[in-house]
Chains A and B, each alone.
Chain A
């Protein structure tokens, strides 16, 4: 099982590396990483947002989808194979889908703003940015709820603690003759 998850992680990393290379070889507009503010020193501005996304928007969208998939795979790798129950996979799927929804709303909310110049506001931020600020925090909090709430089920059960205590006792017992020899 670990082999297939590690393989998926490696494939995902290769995918992200390939996308980065493709982006790197795409000609960048002048304001790709921002430009100096025309009137205020020490301040930068973004300028034409549509031009910045025109050639690489799809690639970047895919890159972040892979990045979100990567985080879920890493969490899965960290959980012992015996504890990867259907419920655990369900939670990981929930984390991934929530992240995807937040990312989709943020990305396409920005696209919609670029197209029509209008935006709603939510708790102090334009809609797309609010998805970033609140949505990303929220989706991360689900991950934390899985860790803390499911600690005994997925991370460290009481029998795991006993197994570790046993391992410690055996290791110390094995080490004792060596230390007395010193």
Chain B
């Protein structure tokens, strides 16, 4: 079996990709309107929404960057994972019911639609749409680049594709993603998410079992090795320190309710009451998949510190090295398929919300009306968006990483800072005003941009995302209180009373 290692890995990945393409073809007949394309006609069952929700939450970062962070800074990065139960709970308390209600009440197809309905402001809609487009470009570029680099490394070890270029890998991986996103819109996206979610759960569980067997004493022995080398790394705040850890707690825990690719899924369920089962199912899937994040990083750090593995050139090599050293070819194939699944499930969500922002929200904010033939335009823009993001990815890889790094700043932290107050609090607090919402979005973008552009390093490991989040929250409340009480539309006012 070892002799055919690369072929087995490649076979599992090809099988996974083929299933994604088949789901795209199957979904094409079910996508008849822009509403189907963007929010699946609000007609999805609880299991589908649960899997789609958690699969979108755990991106390629969770499978590559997460173990890399544990390898690099130890327990610090656990904070992004262990906060998930509170994060999901808070997200559902604040957003799930009201966003589903407002979506049905006003026929909303996107987060900027929801913002426009809540605040009665096209300016707020436009700003949020712009934030989403910038964030989508950064996220997509990094995801496509990660997917292509992994694909190249797998293919390079086979005889037939040993010299394959990165450009070919970008084209190959993007083609599958774009195919099912264009043909089936969000319906294909959520049903591939179901497949992707299941693959990720299987990978997380199997990796945990494998990781526990690497050392005779299980994870405890790995922990003891790490503790003996540097005790802080194995203690609750890790090598990165207490402020960085709590910053991640804040941004990842509270900020989940401000992630557009996640909360958009909360608009898609058939029945409002389904939320009671969607929440625990989503969390269960996420927690099992996240075992991979914690266990790979910890075992690889212990293996290197203990001298049983060579030091890694980059922390992000932790997952690939672990698979090469400790996993059977079939398990490695499943985990690589899960990695593609994690990347693609997040990417398709971003393609979808980015397309909605471009063809649905920005025209409405600027001209007061949507474009004609939204469904056709959505398909064209999906392709263009993916091509532009792939272009950014290649430009970043070969010429200058600054552009993608800059757009990458519009990642989780910026979405959390700019959208959490406006959306998660705004849907529950009638006193929130348009001026407060605009202040929150603008300040979040400004703080993140300034920190990134000026290369500012804040003391104690305070992240730009945390500074932006706290600033936007303060301004959201302060400006809302300082401006006259808003007059809400009658239907929104009544909806917020329920």
Complex contacts, A170 vs chain B, CB 8 Å: 491
A86-119 residues with Cβ-Cβ distance < 8 A to B are 99, 106-107, 109-110, 113, 117, 119
Say yes or no for B85: interface residue by CB 8 A criterion: yes
Give the number of A-B contacts (CB < 8 Å): 264
Complex contacts, A37 vs chain B, CB 8 Å: 230
A80 to B287: give the CA distance in the assembly, Å. 30
* Inter-chain contact B82/A49, CB cutoff 8 Å: no
Say yes or no for B25: interface residue by CB 8 A criterion: no
A107 to B93: give the CA distance in the assembly, Å. 28
* Inter-chain contact B73/A113, CB cutoff 8 Å: no
* Inter-chain contact B481/A10, CB cutoff 8 Å: yes
Complex contacts, B231 vs chain A, CB 8 Å: 46, 49, 113, 117
A37 to B120: give the CA distance in the assembly, Å. 53
The 0/1 profile, CB within 8 Å of B marked 1, for residues 124-138 of chain A is 111011011100111
A150 to B316: give the CA distance in the assembly, Å. 42
A14 to B75: give the CA distance in the assembly, Å. 29
Say yes or no for B277: interface residue by CB 8 A criterion: yes
Complex contacts, B477 vs chain A, CB 8 Å: 6, 9-10, 13
Q: Which chain A residue has the least Cβ–Cβ distance from B496?
A: A80
**Contact-size category for A:** 35 or more
* Inter-chain contact B311/A41, CB cutoff 8 Å: yes
Summarize B's interface: helix, strand, loop or mixed: helix
* Inter-chain contact A42/B105, CB cutoff 8 Å: no
Q: Which of B11-19, B166-174, B239-247, B399-407 touches A?
A: B239-247
Known contacts: A33-B460, A42-B313, A71-B90. The answer to whether A128 contacts B235 by CB under 8 A is yes
B453-475 residues with Cβ-Cβ distance < 8 A to A are 458-462, 466-467, 470-471, 473-474
Complex contacts, A9 vs chain B, CB 8 Å: 425, 477
A34 to B240: give the CA distance in the assembly, Å. 5
Known contacts: A41-B311, A160-B498. The answer to whether A46 contacts B460 by CB under 8 A is no
The 0/1 profile, CB within 8 Å of B marked 1, for residues 1-43 of chain A is 0110010011001101100100110101001111001001111
* Inter-chain contact A143/B238, CB cutoff 8 Å: no
Q: Which chain B residue has the least Cβ–Cβ distance from A149?
A: B276
The 0/1 profile, CB within 8 Å of A marked 1, for residues 268-292 of chain B is 0000110111011001000100000
Please name 29 pairs of A and B residues whose Cβ atoms are closer than 8 Å in the assembled complex, sorted by A. A13-B477, A16-B470, A23-B462, A32-B241, A32-B460, A34-B73, A40-B311, A41-B311, A42-B313, A44-B239, A46-B240, A56-B242, A64-B246, A77-B429, A79-B93, A107-B236, A110-B236, A129-B75, A129-B235, A129-B236, A133-B82, A136-B85, A140-B87, A140-B283, A148-B277, A148-B280, A151-B273, A151-B276, A167-B495
Contacts A42-B312, A42-B314 supplied; 6 other A-B pairs, CB < 8 Å: A2-B431, A17-B474, A33-B241, A33-B460, A52-B241, A156-B498
